[in-house]
Amino acid sequence: MLAMIPATVPAQEPAAEVPEAVKTIWPGIEPDGGVLLPNGWTLRPAGRQIALAGDFPVLIARHPSEPILALLFAGYRSHEVVTLDAESNQILSRVSLPASFSGLLWSADGSRLFAGGGFDDVIYRFDHRAGLLSNRTTFRYPGPLVPAAPPPDDEQDVRRTTQRVPGGLALSGDGSTLWVANTWGHTVSRFDAETGAFLGETDTGAGSYPYGLAIDEARGRVYASLWGAMSVSLIDLKTAEVVGRWPTEEHPNELLLARDGALLYVANANRNTVTLFDTDAGRALETIGTAIAPDAPSGSTPNALALSPDETVLFVSNANTNNLAVVNVEEPGRSKAMGFIPVGWYPTCVRLSDDGKTIYVTNGKGAMSRANRNGPQPTPGGRPPTVEYIAGLFEGTLSVIPMPDPQGMGTLTQTVYQCSPLRRDDPAAVTAARPEGNPIPAKVGDPSPIRYCIYVIKENRTYDQVFGDMPEGNGEPALCLFPEEVTPNHHALAREYVLLDNFYVESEVSADGHEWTMAAYATDFVERTWPLGYRGDRRVPYPAEGAFAIATPAGGYLWDRAKAAGISYRSYGEWVQNGPNPGDPGVARAEALEGHIDPFYRGYDLNYPDVKRAERFLEALSRFEREGEMPRLQIVRIGNDHTSGTRPGALTPRAMVADNDLALGMIVEGLSKSRFWPQTAIFVVEDDAQNGPDHVDAHRTVALCVSPYTRGSGTDSTMYSTSSMLRTMELILGLEPMSQFDAAARPMYHCFHAEPDATPYELRPARIDLEETNLATAWGAELSNRLDLSREDAADDLLFNEIIWRSVKGADSPMPAPVRSAFVLQVEEDEDDAAADDDE
C-alpha cells in the first residue's frame, strides 16, 4: 500500500562538471517536452492538465457527496467560482464575482456553496444543484471595521484600516453558524448561515492576519491560522473568546484536522514546513519538512494540505517549487518522506477524490508562459480592450493525477529532482563549475580579488526595448524603443564590458519585483496580494518594499545577510520612504537599514532627475575616498527609466530614459576613476520587465556587469536571472543564500575573467535634449494626465506601455505584442473553454 512503502529513488549523482564552452540554452520547450521557465526551473507536470480559461485559481472545494469540484479564482483577471465534473473533467458552470481573495466552502449536504468576496467585504452564498449555482445571497458586515488596536506604525494605511477581507471559512457542526477569518481586518467573524445575520467578531491581534479556519466540535474550539503572527489562535466555540495560541513557523495558512480532531496539520508557507499539533496535549508533535533537501533554504512555499482517506498519507503543495510533497504520517510524530509529485506552475491547492484514487491540484500560473498574440491595443479615453498583459497571461490549470503506486512515486520523485536546479546533497553549494582562476569564488567564504559590490536597480524595461538594436546580441531592432542615440552609456558599457542577452527577472511587476531583487523570493503574502491591486482595485495597498512586515521573507533581504556576516552596507533610495519634498530626509523601511541609508538620496520620484541622484552618490564616493574605505555592498536606485508617459509638461519618455542612462554612466565613470575600482564590480538590473515587448520572453531584461574583471568579455549568452546576480554578489561578499532560488542559481562566472583591466570608463554625453517635454497634443497625453505615477506601477501598465511606445515610435504605430517563451506544453481544453477564450 502506498502509505506503507516509501518511494525508491536513485541516489543523486554529484553535480557534473560544466565545460568551459557552455551551450546556450533559452527558456521554452525542452527535447523531452518539459518547459524551462525563465527562472531556471522546469515544469513536467504529472497527470492530465485541464485548461480552466481563467487566471490564478486559488482554492478547490470537493462536494461532500457528488463528483463535483468548485474552484475559486482570485487573480488579476475575472474573479469567479467554477464548478467542474470530476468524472468527465468538464466545466459545468462559471459564476462571476465582483471580487474575491479566499474562502470556499460547501454546506454539509452540498446544497449550498459559500465564497469570500475579498475587498468588497462580503460573503456570497449560492444554492447548488447538479453543478449549477444560483440564487446568490450576500452576507454583509454591519459597518466598517473599527480596529481594537491601531495597526503597527509601519502598516498604517487609510485605505485598509476598515477592510476585513474574508479569508478562510468554516461551518459549525450543525451548519447554523458560518465562521469567517477576516484576513486584513485581524478578526474572526460569525454569521447566521441561514439568514446571513452578523453574529459577532473576535479580535485576533494587530498584525495577525487570520487566514485559515478549522472547527473542532469535540473540543469546542475554532482554530485560526495567524498568517502574520507565526501561530494558531484557539477560539472558544461558545464564547467566541480567544483562549490560547500555539506557535508555528512563519506564515501558517491552511489547516487540516485529522483523527477526529486529535491532530491538526498547519502549512507554514514562509518556511518549508508543516507543523503537526496534538490538540489534546496542546503541543507540537513534529515539524515536517517539505523541500527536496532537509537543509534547503526557505522557498518551497507550502500552502495547501490534503490527507488520504485513511489519513496515513499527507500531500502538501509547494507553490514556488512546483511540486507536491508526499509524507507517510501513519505514526504521528514519526513521519517519513515518501517522495514528490511534479505539478504545474505555482500550485495553490491540493485535494483528493473521495476514494483516494485521484489527486487534484490547481496551478495558479498554469503550465506555461504564452505569447500574447493580440497585444495591448488601448483606445484613447478608455481602458484597453485586452487581457493580454503580463499579469493576465497566466492561464490556470487543474492537474488530475492518478494516485501513484510506490514504483510510480519513485519515477515522479526523480522527475521533481530533475526539474529543480537545487543540489539535494548540499543545497547551499554552487551548481555550476567555476573556470580556473575566476575571481568569483566557488563557495561562500573563499577569497575573491573583488571586495566591493555596487547593485544598481532600475525600473521596468525589457532587453529589446534598450538593446534590440545591438547586432552583437539576440535582439529585435523593430522592438527597440531606446536605441544607442537615447542610451549611449548602456550600449557602451555592454560593448566594453559584457552584453547579457539571455538574462531574466523572476518577477512579473514591481510589487514582486523589488522583493525578488532584494531577497531572491517573494512571499505568499505578496504573490496573493499584488494581482488584486494591479487589476485596478485602489483599496488594495501596495504590498512590498517594506510597506508590510508580513511581506518579509524568512530568509531576509540582502542587507540582512550582510549584517549577519559583518559586511558593511548602504542603501541609496531602495526601501527608503522619501521625505515630503526634495531636501527633506527620508527614512529606512527596514530595521536592518536604519543607519545604513543616505537620508538625502531621493528614492522613487519621477519629478527628480536621476542625474541628481548620481551626483549625490558621487559626493558620497568622494568622501569615502578621503576616508580610505567605503561600504562593501551599496544598493543604488535610479528608476526614471520608468518614465511619466506623455503627461503634458512632463519630460518625454526619451528624455527620462536618457537622464537615467547619463546617471548610470556618471556612476560607473566615477567608480572606475576611484581608488576602489581595481576591487569593484557593478551589477545593474531592472526590478521587473513589465509588459514591454521582447521577442524572446517578456521576462528578459536589461542587465549589466561592469568590473575590471569583465572588461572585454564580449557577449555572454549564458542563461542568468536576477537570482544569478544575487548569487554572484553573495559569493564575492561571503553571504549565505537567502532562498532556494539564489542557492540554485548559476553564478555569472562566464562574465568574468582572471586578469583585470582597470582602464577607466569614459562617460558618453547625452545625445538628445534631456529637457524635452511632452506636448499637450502628444498621443495619450490626456490619458497620461489621469495615470497615478506617485509610486511605481500604480498606473495601468497596459496603457502606460502603449503610451510610451507611441510617444517614441509615433502615434500611428501600435505596440507589437510581447512574446512569452515556454508556451508549448500541451493542455487539454474542451470546446466550451475554447469558446470562452474566443469570447474574451
Using the Cα atoms of residue 289, residue 294, residue 295 and residue 300 in order, give the sign of their dihedral.
negative
Q: Does 690 score more than 80 pLDDT?
A: no
Distance CA 682, CA 467 (A): 19
- What would the pLDDT profile of 622-639 be if each residue is shown by its tens digit? 999 999 999 999 999 998
Average pLDDT of the residues in 710-733: 97
- The upper half-sphere exposure of residue 327, i.e. CA atoms within 13 Å in the direction of its Cβ, equals 30
Q: Does 831 score more than 60 pLDDT?
A: no
- pLDDT, position 811: 65
Q: Which residues contact 389 (CB under 8 A, 6 or more apart)?
A: 76, 372, 376, 691, 797, 798
136-145, 280-289, 690-699 — which is least confidently predicted? 690-699
With respect to residue 542, please indicate whether it lies within any of the assigned structural domains. yes
Average pLDDT of the residues in 433-453: 96
- What would the pLDDT profile of 388-423 be if each residue is shown by its tens digit? 444 555 688 999 999 999 999 999 999 999 999 999
Same domain, yes or no, for 621 and 755? yes
Report residue 617: phi and psi, to 5°. -65, -40
Distance CA 317, CA 58 (A): 12
- What would the pLDDT profile of 73-125 be if each residue is shown by its tens digit? 999 889 999 999 999 999 999 999 999 999 999 999 999 999 999 999 999 99
- pLDDT, position 372: 30
- pLDDT, position 498: 98
Strand partners for 402: 358
With respect to residue 37, please indicate whether it lies within any of the assigned structural domains. no
Q: How confident is the model at residue 5 (pLDDT cuts 50, 70, 90)?
A: very low
Same domain, yes or no, for 467 and 385? no
Question: Residue 314 in contact with residue 255, Cβ under 8 Å?
Answer: no
Same domain, yes or no, for 392 and 467? no
Q: Which amino acid is at 409?
A: M
Q: Does 821 score more than 90 pLDDT?
A: no
Q: Are strands 132-140 and 336-342 parallel, antiparallel or unpaired?
A: unpaired
734: left (phi over 0), alpha (psi -120 to 50) or beta: left
Q: Which own/partner pairs from 406-412 qualify as long-range (CB within 8 Å, at least 24 positions apart)?
A: 406/2, 406/5, 406/6, 406/7, 406/8, 407/7, 407/8, 409/2, 409/6, 409/7, 409/326, 409/338, 409/339, 409/341, 410/7, 410/8, 410/9, 410/339, 412/7, 412/46, 412/339, 412/340, 412/341, 412/342
Same domain, yes or no, for 412 and 458? no
Average pLDDT of the residues in 526-543: 91
Question: Residue 371 in contact with residue 817, Cβ under 8 Å?
Answer: yes
Same domain, yes or no, for 223 and 339? yes
Structurally, the chain folds into a number of domains equal to 2
With respect to residue 408, please indicate whether it lies within any of the assigned structural domains. yes
Same domain, yes or no, for 235 and 350? yes
Out of 419, 435, 466, pick the residue that ends a domain.
Answer: 419
- What would the pLDDT profile of 558-600 be if each residue is shown by its tens digit? 999 999 999 999 999 999 999 999 999 999 999 999 999 999 9
Same domain, yes or no, for 510 and 369? no
With respect to residue 158, please indicate whether it lies within any of the assigned structural domains. no
Q: Does 695 score more than 80 pLDDT?
A: yes
Strand partners for 509: none
Question: Residue 92 in contact with residue 132, Cβ under 8 Å?
Answer: yes
Q: Does 614 score more than 70 pLDDT?
A: yes
Using the Cα atoms of residue 495, residue 500, residue 501 and residue 504 in order, give the sign of their dihedral.
negative
Q: Which of 52, 57, 49, 142 is nearest to 104 (CA)?
A: 57
Q: Which residue in this structure is represented by grid cell 539564489?
A: 742
Q: Which residues of 502-530 are buried (b: 16+ CB within 10 A; e: fewer)?
A: bbbbbbbbbbbbbbbbbbbbbbbbbbbbb
Following DSSP, what letter does each residue of 180-223 receive, concatenated?
Answer: EEETTTTEEEEEETTT--EEEEEE--TT--EEEEEEETTTTEEE
Specify the higher pLDDT residue, 706 or 783: 706
Out of 419, 444, 466, pick the residue that ends a domain.
Answer: 419
Same domain, yes or no, for 390 and 478? no
First to last CA, the chain: 46
Average pLDDT of the residues in 320-330: 98
With respect to residue 50, please indicate whether it lies within any of the assigned structural domains. yes
Distance CA 565, CA 489 (A): 34
187-196, 266-275, 816-825 — which is least confidently predicted? 816-825
Q: Does 838 score more than 60 pLDDT?
A: no
Same domain, yes or no, for 462 and 560? yes
Q: How confident is the model at residue 20 (pLDDT cuts 50, 70, 90)?
A: very low
Distance CA 87, CA 43 (A): 25
Residue 701: Cβ within 10 Å count:
32
- The upper half-sphere exposure of residue 567, i.e. CA atoms within 13 Å in the direction of its Cβ, equals 24
Out of 362, 395, 419, pick the residue that ends a domain.
Answer: 419
CA-to-CA dists, residue 515 to 675, 745, 806, angstroms: 32, 16, 30
Q: What is the domain range of residue 605? A: 452-809
Residue 813: Cβ within 10 Å count:
11
Same domain, yes or no, for 179 and 242? yes
282: left (phi over 0), alpha (psi -120 to 50) or beta: left
- What would the pLDDT profile of 744-784 be if each residue is shown by its tens digit? 999 999 999 999 999 999 999 999 999 988 766 665 555 55
Q: Which of 340, 728, 774 is nearest to 500 (CA)?
A: 728
Q: How confident is the model at residue 161 (pLDDT cuts 50, 70, 90)?
A: low
Distance CA 199, CA 654 (A): 58
Q: Considering the chain, what is the average pLDDT of its residues? A: 88
With respect to residue 333, please indicate whether it lies within any of the assigned structural domains. yes
Q: Is the pTM of this model over 0.85?
A: yes
Distance CA 635, CA 575 (A): 10
Same domain, yes or no, for 410 and 475? no
Q: How confident is the model at residue 828 (pLDDT cuts 50, 70, 90)?
A: very low
Q: Which amino acid is at 31?
A: P
456-470, 503-517, 689-703 — which is least confidently predicted? 689-703
Report residue 389: phi and psi, to 5°. -105, 155
With respect to residue 329, please indicate whether it lies within any of the assigned structural domains. yes
With respect to residue 782, please indicate whether it lies within any of the assigned structural domains. yes
Average pLDDT of the residues in 268-275: 97
Please report, for the domain that includes residue 563, its CATH number: 3.40.720.10
Q: Does 172 score more than 70 pLDDT?
A: yes
Specify the higher pLDDT residue, 148 or 586: 586
336-350, 488-502, 529-543, 583-597 — which is least confidently predicted? 529-543
- pLDDT, position 384: 40
Q: Quote the percentage of the chain above a pLDDT of 70.
A: 84
Same domain, yes or no, for 74 and 202? yes
Q: Which residues contact 566 (CB under 8 A, 6 or more apart)?
A: none
- pLDDT, position 7: 46
- What would the pLDDT profile of 639-680 be if each residue is shown by its tens digit? 898 887 767 778 888 999 999 999 999 999 999 999 999 999
Q: How confident is the model at residue 376 (pLDDT cuts 50, 70, 90)?
A: very low
1-10, 19-28, 45-54 — which is least confidently predicted? 1-10
Average pLDDT of the residues in 451-457: 98
Please report, for the domain that includes residue 139, its CATH number: 2.130.10.10
Q: Does 380 score more than 80 pLDDT?
A: no
What cell was used for 369?
508562459
Question: Residue 512 in contact with residue 522, Cβ under 8 Å?
Answer: yes
Quote the Cα angle for 341-346-352, to 5°.
50
Q: Does 309 score more than 80 pLDDT?
A: yes
- The upper half-sphere exposure of residue 655, i.e. CA atoms within 13 Å in the direction of its Cβ, equals 18
* Secondary structure (H, E, C), 212-269: EEEEECCCCEEEEEECCCCEEEEEECCCCCEEEEEECCCCEEEEEEECCCCEEEEEEC
